[in-house]
Each structure stands twice: as structure tokens, then as C-alpha cells.
């Protein structure tokens, strides 16, 4: 699928999400019997009996930066197993811990991490997660990172519903005063046990949803970072290094790669990134584009950020497409203040 056609599909899905439609589908699957057989085969190979436990990661990061009377920054993770950090053994290897540690180093300020993500969640669980994130009105997060979408594809949730749930979540968080960064749907075509034609269909569906998610998020005042190719060529080239023991979730190195792509956008959302980096760099093919085109471009290239720019244009709202330089994130030291990742 070309980027222009992906932009058209994404625009239709986002429009359906905004106006209550539900007819736009992902990938146009035709050979249903073969597809279902491939899905059953893939599910038998994914998991390898590995426990779905998520390591403890919540707590205070960057405590050495503490200044009396200055509260820590508050970072909340929402989404599915990727946001929770399923597939690694230590809390410091989860994306939330990596982002909190990296953010603390950039801001030179402690970061309080909370994680309300749920392994296995689809976008319709975000309503519950947002309610948890905003339960204490005196402690609204400074920034929320959402990673969601893979289960929407595998559970065949209508994409308009998926995008509608995500857009509503972003709007509620932004209205409450939190900055929002969304890691869009990863490329499921990179999961090692998945065979053709499911691999091709999964790749196509993932990228379509990622592009539609981008439109919905940007229109609500959030920012997106494409995770698609992080689970594509890099994972395909190093499957043993970047996939975890279950052959499905990222390994510690895989999560570090994703956190390295998301961290600059988190810092930019909090005005902690150098201001000169906020201008488009033409040598890196950055610039202002209609939001649907920017979404399609981002879905095809890992680590690409899309954020709102001019509100109107000849083809609707415009967005800024950025390809930020990634910052390596180190695993933080264990902290005695860390608490279970999923409080009741």
C-alpha cells in the first residue's frame, strides 16, 4: 500500500471514529479460512508457556535530583502489555522505568512513575485506565505515555472504534492538563512465528491503524511516535536479541530501543528539549504536512513524531513531522521505593 493510499484509509477511519461510523475495515481480508488457520498456528508458537507476570517498576526515579520544596515530575504509563513491560524480568527494563530514568536525567529532576497499563488490553480499556490516572485531582500526571493497538488488530476490533476510544482518552487527559505521547500500533508482521499471508495482512493492518491513531491523537492535542519499524526491520534482523523469551513481546534491548525513540518526544512535550530542535530540519526530511499525510509517513518509519501545527489548511489540519535524534536510555538502578506495577 502506498503512503498516499494509506493516508486516505487513515483519514476515513479517523473520520468514522469522530462521527460515529463503523464501516471502515483494516486490510480487506478475503481468505478468511486460511487467515484463521494461520492465526491458530501462530498462537501455538507464541508464548512458549512463559508467565505473563510484569515486574515491579513504579516508584521514584532520579532521587539524587531532589530539591526541597520542588515536587517530582509525574509520568503515567497507559496501554497494553508493551506499556506494562511484559516479557522482561527486572522493573528497570520496562519502558516506563527507562522513560522515567531518562526523563529525570534530562530534566535534572526526580520523576514519579505510575503504571496503569494492563497486559492484553485493547483501546476500549483506556476509559478505565484514564479514570485511574486522574483519580487524584491533586496529582494529575505531567505527562502520560500510551502504547496501544496491537491487541485491537489481533482481536479484530473495528478500527473506527479503536481510534475513537484512543481519541477520547487523549482528550480527557489533555483536558485535565497532562501532556500526552502515544506510541502507535507496532508492526505485527514482525512477530517471528507469524507466516504468510497473515504476516503481510498483519503488517498492513498495523500500519493502517497506526496512521489512523496518529490523526485522532494529533487532533486532540497529543503527540505520536511511530513504533512500527522498531518492530520491523530491526526486529527481523535481530529476532533473538530484540524479542523476549515468549517470541512476542520485546526483550530488554527491544524495550530500550522503543524508549530511546519515545523519550525525545516526551521531553519535547514538557519543553525540556533544545528549542532549536523544534524547527523542521529539511536535511532530515522534516516539515509541515496535512495531518493524514504526516500520519502515513510516520507509520512507515520508526521513531517519527507527529504533533499538531497549523489548525487549518487546503486539505484539513496540518501537522509537524519530526525525526528526532534518539537518546540512549540506560537501565536504572533498583530503587527501594518501587511498588507493584498494577495497584488495585
Domains of the chain, first to last:
3-21+59-322 (3.40.50.1110)
Beta bridge partners of 182: 146, 224
As a whole number of angstroms, the distance between CA 161 and CA 173 comes to 19
268-288: b (≥16 Cβ within 10 Å) or e: bbbeebeeeeeeeeeeeebbe
Of 167, 226, 229, 249, the catalytic one is 249
Whole-number Å distance between alpha carbons of 191 and 66: 41
Q: pLDDT tier at 1 (50, 70, 90 boundaries)?
A: low
Q: Give the range among 10-14, 40-44, 81-85, 213-217 with minimum mean pLDDT.
A: 40-44
* 242 vs 180: which has the higher pLDDT: 180
Does residue 74 register a pLDDT over 80? yes
Q: What is the pLDDT of residue 311?
A: 63
- From the list 229, 246, 300, 335, the catalytic residue is 246
How many residues in the chain?
Answer: 344
Percent over 70 (pLDDT), the chain: 68
CA dist list (Å): 155 to 79, 164, 240, 252, 260: 15, 16, 26, 26, 28
User: pLDDT, tens digit, for every residue of 181-197?
Assistant: 999 998 876 655 556 66
DSSP secondary structure code for residue 339 in this structure: B
24 or 222, higher pLDDT: 222
Residue 9 pLDDT > 80: no
Clarify whether 249 is annotated catalytic.
Answer: yes
Is 124 tagged catalytic?
no
Matching residue, cell 486516505 = 8
Per-residue buried b or exposed e for 291-329, using 16+ beta carbons within 10 Å of the residue's own CB: bbbbbbbbbbebbbbbbbbeeeeeebbbbbbbbbeeeeb
Return the residue matching grid coordinates 530501543: 257
Q: Has 125 been annotated as catalytic?
A: no
Distance CA 17, CA 192 (A): 32
**Section 257-282 average pLDDT:** 86
Q: Given pLDDT bands bounded at 50, 70 and 90, which one contains residue 133?
A: very high
Which pTM value belongs to this model?
0.83
* pLDDT value of residue 134: 97
Tell me what pLDDT residue 27 has.
45
Catalytic residue among 81, 101, 123, 167: 81
Amino acid at each position: 500500500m502506498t503512503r498516499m493510499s494509506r493516508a486516505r484509509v487513515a483519514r476515513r477511519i479517523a473520520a468514522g471514529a469522530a462521527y460515529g461510523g463503523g464501516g471502515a475495515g483494516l486490510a480487506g481480508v478475503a481468505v478468511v479460512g486460511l487467515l484463521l488457520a494461520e492465526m491458530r498456528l501462530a498462537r501455538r508458537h507464541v508464548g512458549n508457556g512463559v508467565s505473563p507476570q510484569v515486574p515491579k517498576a513504579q516508584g521514584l526515579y532520579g532521587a539524587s535530583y531532589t530539591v526541597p520544596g520542588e515536587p517530582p515530575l509525574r509520568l503515567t504509563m497507559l496501554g497494553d502489555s508493551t506499556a506494562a513491560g511484559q516479557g522482561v524480568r527486572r522493573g528497570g527494563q520496562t519502558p516506563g522505568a527507562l522513560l522515567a530514568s531518562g526523563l529525570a536525567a534530562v530534566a535534572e529532576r526526580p520523576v514519579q512513575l505510575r503504571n496503569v497499563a494492563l497486559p492484553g488490553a485493547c483501546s476500549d480499556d483506556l476509559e478505565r485506565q484514564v479514570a485511574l490516572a486522574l483519580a487524584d485531582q491533586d496529582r494529575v500526571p505531567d505527562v502520560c505515555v500510551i502504547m496501544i493497538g496491537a491487541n485491537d488488530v489481533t482481536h479484530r476490533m473495528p478500527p473506527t472504534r479503536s481510534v475513537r476510544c484512543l481519541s477520547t482518552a487523549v482528550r480527557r487527559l489533555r483536558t485535565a492538563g497532562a501532556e500526552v505521547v502515544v506510541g502507535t500500533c507496532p508492526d505485527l508482521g514482525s512477530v517471528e512465528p507469524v507466516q504468510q499471508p497473515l504476516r503481510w495482512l498483519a503488517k498492513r493492518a498495523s500500519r493502517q491503524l497506526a496512521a489512523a491513531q496518529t490523526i485522532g491523537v494529533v487532533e486532540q492535542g497529543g503527540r505520536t511516535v511511530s513504533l512500527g519499524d522498531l518492530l520491523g526491520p530491526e526486529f527481523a534482523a535481530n529476532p533473538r536479541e530484540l524479542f523476549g523469551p515468549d517470541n512476542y513481546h520485546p526483550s530488554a534491548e527491544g524495550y530500550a530501543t522503543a524508549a530511546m525513540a519515545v523519550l525525545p518526544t516526551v521531553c519535547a512535550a514538557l519543553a525540556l528539549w533544545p528549542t532549536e530542535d523544534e524547527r523542521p530540519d529539511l536535511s532530515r526530511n522534516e516539515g509541515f504536512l496535512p495531518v493524514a499525510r504526516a500520519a502515513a509517513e510516520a507509520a512507515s518509519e520508526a521513531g517519527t513524531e507527529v504533533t499538531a501545527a497549523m489548525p487549518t489548511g487546503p486539505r484539513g489540519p496540518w501537522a509537524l513531522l519530526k525525526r528526532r535524534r534518539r537518546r540512549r536510555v540506560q537501565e536504572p538502578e533498583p530503587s527501594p521505593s518501587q511498588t507493584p506495577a498494577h495497584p488495585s
